Homo-oligomer: A and B are copies of this chain.
Amino acid sequence: MAEFTLIDLIRARATHGRDDVVLGIGDDAALLQPPPGMQLVVAMDTLNDGVHFPPGTEAAQVGWKALAVNLSDLAAMGAEPAWCTLSLSLPDGDPAWVAGFLDGFLALAALHRVALVGGDTTRGPLSVSVTVHGFADPGRALCRDGARVGDSVWVSGTLGGAAGALAQWREGRAISPALRERLERPLPRIALGRALAGVASACIDVSDGVLADLGHVCAASGVGARLELDALPGADLLRPHFDGDALRALQASGGDDYELCFTVPATKDATVAAAAAATGVTVTRIGTGVAGQGVQAFDSEGRIWQPAQAGHEHFSTPAPPAARPL
């Protein structure tokens, strides 16, 4: 299938009801009308076959996740999503794969009123790059550098489920449906992020594990953090399949959950609870900002806990097995 036919296929499906899209797919570039007075928030993330998803992952799951990890970055900024562009590299131009991909991608786009306005298709190893655009009120975007000593540290949803599914897959075990859902259908916490804009002092999305990601917040903010391991949410989801240190490591260091980890002045804890209730997302207080640097995790007996591995980094993590479908 030729490139232009693929683009026509994508263009025909990329409908949207946004009147700030002056010109979408089909020209050299998209023309967009940003709202007056707002800041533009832009993030770009790529998923590669066999690195960010196992070979043989269903096309619709790849499509959902490629947009989800990008929208999660907008959520972590407290931004309102608006537009995205998509670059698809495909080993062949299989229209059935692209149709499945669009099923997942556009389903999530519709949930958040995101218009697909441009991009390209090319031949190459399977890879999906997405750029997302959103808006934030000046001065209210959530950055990483605002955490202070005494702030409460919170996290949304549950931790470790996505990494649990990957662990089951790596070990050749059956994958629990509940964990698979966490790996394949992450829910970007857009509504919660927007409710936290102007409330949280710092925010990040949990893509590399909460220990590592909270560490980025601490480094940017010039503070340390104390993390209470037993407070980390998600143990109920994991306990049928994992226990002891393995369970703890999944919660503290497992990546790919795309929850929000954020800090707030302790005086605003009630506002956080209200934001969570209003957006239907559970939030859990998991620690405190402290003087110093780095994150120290404590077990229920007050002992410092060290993970075997500090968090997920590409280039330093072995690839998953090459050719076994999930």
Contact = CB atoms under 8 A, between A and B. Distances in A.
A133 B85 CA distance: 12
B42 A92 contact: no
Contacts of A92: 315
Interface string A1-41: 11110100000000000000011001111111110110111
Interface in A56-105: 73-74, 76-77, 79, 83, 85-87, 89-90, 92-93
- How many of these chains are in the complex? 2
A34 to B, nearest CB: 5
Contact of A43 (B28, B39, B86, B141): B28
B131 A28 contact: no
Contact of A74 (B29, B77, B120, B314): B29
B129 A44 contact: yes
Contact of A29 (B36, B41, B93): B41
A91 to B, nearest CB: 10
7 contacts: A26-B220, A29-B73, A29-B74, A29-B76, A32-B42, A42-B117, A93-B315
Given A28-B74, A32-B40, A121-B314, 16 more contacts: A2-B313, A6-B315, A27-B144, A28-B43, A28-B203, A30-B42, A33-B40, A34-B40, A36-B37, A40-B133, A42-B117, A44-B86, A45-B87, A46-B124, A48-B124, A85-B131
